[in-house]
Structure 1
Amino acid sequence: MDAVEAVLCQIEETGAQAQLKLVAHLSRPFPPDFIQRVLSVSDPRTLCELNFELGERFAEAALAVIAHAGLRPGDVDIIGSHGQTVAHLPSSLSATPSTLQIGEASVIAERTGIPVVSDFRTRDMAAGGQGAPLVPYFDWVVFRKPGAVRAFQNIGGIANVSVVGDRLDDILAFDTGPGNMVLDGLARRITQGQLQCDLDGQLSRQGTVIPSILAELLTHPFFALPPPRSAGREGFGEALVTWLWEQPRNKPEDLITTALAFTVEATARAYEAYVLPRYGSLEAVYVSGGGSRNPTLMERFSARLAPLPVRTLDALGFPEGAKEAACFALLAAEHLVGTPTNVPSATGARRRVVLGKLTP
């Protein structure tokens, strides 16, 4: 929820033969007041307005990255837009599994003159899946290495892992739990809105972990769920931030340091419970998402998983900030040729399905 990431990709072939080349990438930050509006959306009118306003912002970003590459809109075949998640309710949270991403595709198509594929999660959920994670297909197409097993750890608002080997059907992928969402909420409170995140780990470096609070956090019912599983704002969002803020502490920084330890420990325990017993060893863990730019988090995550190598995705020559946008460019391209891109072993869907809806 911090920025629009826009990429331009050249994609050839499909499925196991697909080749993706990153042509251009730019990031357009959201202003703090806009972030707060999205975070606090609670009435239908605001949701309706934000849906169209986000469509405008996404269209602007798409046109900007096309111009940045020295191309014209007519040179582009398709836009893939994931949208902003405002609710994600898998079967573990609701008797009616559902998900909602906003950022009106019709606005993007009208402003750019380019067809848009959007709403990628709904078809997987209709097929009995969690609707997440969807990035494993991209990880397998772009980053698999013959004979090696690699883990791709995203630490965004929520943290998720894809473990990729030679075969798509052998992928293990699931949400590990909290990422930056709690850290971001506490950073806003500690700095009274001056910071939107734990920038460069500067806040979490100043505090001390509160063991009793960390122990309580690790009893969250999400961690009792085996994969496939997905998490969202409902479990690790503002309600949890408010609960933490009300806990006794020596200083506010103790809370954000404890929240960072929560992300590190929850992620590491997911590896110990589900990844390492299945694969034994990994070539390395490659980290992307905003958490990979937090040096305090990376230091403590690396120490917790040692001697397993932990690297940023940039080590593979791909800018981590471009990864998720490139993922949905690939999923949009595969939609056009009718190639299924969900991974049932990751989402729990009954079958492989073509993801997304096309807006001409």
Structure 2
Amino acid sequence: MSAGTRPAQQPAEAATAQWYIGLMSGTSLDGVDGVLAEISESGCAVARHASAPLAPELRAELLALNTCGDNELHRAALAASALARTYAGVVHELLSQSRLPASTVRAIGAHGQTVRHQPGLHDGTGYTLQLNNPALLAEATGITVVADLRSRDVAAGGQGAPLVPAFHRRAFGQAGQAVAVLNIGGIANLSVLGASGATTGFDCGPGNALMDHWCQRHQGRLYDEDGSWAASGQVLPALLQLLLAEPYLALPPPRSTGRDLFNPAWLQRCLQAAGASQARPQDVQASLAELTARACVQDMQRHGAGARLLIVCGGGALNGHLMRRLQALLPGVRVESSAHHGLPPLQVEAAAFAWLARQCLHGLPGNLPAATGARGPRVLGAIYPA
């Protein structure tokens, strides 16, 4: 399966090709990315991409809902509806760009916003919670919506994440050659596409989430553009050593994580334990960037040793400092943006959820048990008809 971009007006590559929309708002909370893609058994061609920032009050509420607070059910319901309206705006923008009527789109794959991710905990099953109002999204767009794409995998004993390795195989797999794909969103996840066709994947650890938090706190900016602020600082060895000592980073796959672990409170505890509470903010930022890079690299070395190509997607692929650190730490591997392989970094996850929507409607599995640890392949998602 190949991925690429082409004008919406071109004919389908196969008779079975249909239009799908994928929507993604990740743990970085930097906004919503949406793609309009034509998908068939043989290919996934992205025709249009649109994005929208999250309103500051919605972003703050979604971040607050990652931890316990007052009146959570009411606040979560309102936040879910506000997010669905943002999603609808992106859908309408995609339709406007392509001049396609809503009736031509088979379905929308809408991920929702993860606010809790605790698979396997508490009662042996645990849960993963993505805020969304897919019924409202279906009403607002007139298009069938496929949502709740993680919980079936969790019910089957899996982590519910990552769900992108199967799509990575179809988009970036190369016959007879091992390839690794690193998605750096709020959390970083690695897919290993073996030369034999075997595919696995797991969450490495923090991606942009901690760097974004620190940048917002000390710079008043949503993220560190190109990693320039991190590049201006010096890594603090004692702090980095403590950050890398986090037990999660040594766990074997399958494993997944989120803001439940890698959050500001975790960072504050590490700063205090390392005696770095009064360190220069840019030095802490440099250390956080190095944490992300080294956590990803050690997983690449442990589980993707046969790969000589690392394709990077997600917002982290736009961080020049982080990309340079990955390359420096992996001298025998080509580290390249997914833009060089048919899909710009901010389109990959949205395209994956468009593909997952198609899998659901065709009654086909969307998970990879080798990646999530589920008891077997499962059809993922709940369908809200147009």
TM-score by length of 2: 0.87
Q: For residues 220-252 of structure 1, what are the alpha-carbon distances to aligned partners after superposition, in whole Å with 9 as ceiling and x for unaligned? A: 110221001101101112222333565334411
Match of 1:171 in 2: 199
Looking at structure 1, the residues matched to 47 and 303 of structure 2 have their Cα atoms a distance apart, in angstroms, of: 36
Change (3 A) 1:145 1:172: same
Change (3 A) 1:257 1:305: same
Say whether residues 1:210 and 2:236 are aligned partners: yes
Distance 2:124 2:242 in 1: 27
Work out whether 1:48 is the aligned partner of 2:74.
Answer: no
Query: Are 2:245 and 1:219 aligned?
Result: yes
Match of 1:306 in 2: 331
Name whichever of 59-68 and 111-120 sits farther off: 59-68
Q: Is the 8 A contact 1:9 1:22 kept in 2?
A: yes
Q: What value does the CA root-mean-square deviation take over the aligned residues?
A: 1.6
Q: Per-residue CA shift, 1:181-235, capped at 9, x if unaligned?
A: 10011011112xx201112212211211111111111111102210011011011
Provide the rounded CA distance (Å) in 2 between the counterparts of 1:92 and 1:202.
39
Is the Cα–Cα contact under 8 Å of residues 188 and 203 in structure 2 kept in the other structure?
yes
- Residue aligning to 2:88: 59
Q: Which runs of 5+ in 2 are unaligned?
A: 1-28
8 Å contact from structure 2 (residues 120, 154) kept in 1: no
**How many angstroms apart in 2 are the aligned matches of 1:120 and 1:238?**
27
Residue 271 of structure 1 aligns to which amino acid in structure 2? M
TM-score, L = length of structure 1: 0.93
Match of 2:98 among 61, 66, 69: 69
Structure 2 counterpart of 1:350, from 375, 379, 383: 375
* Matched-pair contact (CA < 8 Å) for 2:168–2:191: yes
| 2:137 partner amino acid | I
- Aligned match of 1:88: 117
Within a 5 Å distance, the mapping from 1:247-326 to structure 2 comes to 247-276=276-305, 281-326=306-351
Change (3 A) 1:319 1:123: same
Asked if the contact 1:32/1:196 (under 8 Å) is kept, the reply is no
Secondary structure of 1:228's match?
Answer: coil
Report the residue type matching 2:369 in the other structure. P
- 1:139 counterpart residue number: 168
| Structure with the higher fraction of residues in helix conformation | 1
Unaligned runs of 5+ in 1: none
| Cα displacement (A) at 1:45 | 1.8
**One-letter identity of the residue aligned with 2:265:** A
CA deviations on 1:28-74 (whole Å, 9 max, x unpaired) are 11233332221112322211110111111111111211111121111
Distance apart, 1:275 and its partner CA: 2.1
Q: Percent identity?
A: 38
CA distance in 2, matches of 1:67, 1:258: 43
Amino acid at match of 1:204: A
C-alpha distance in 1, partners of 2:163/2:49? 21
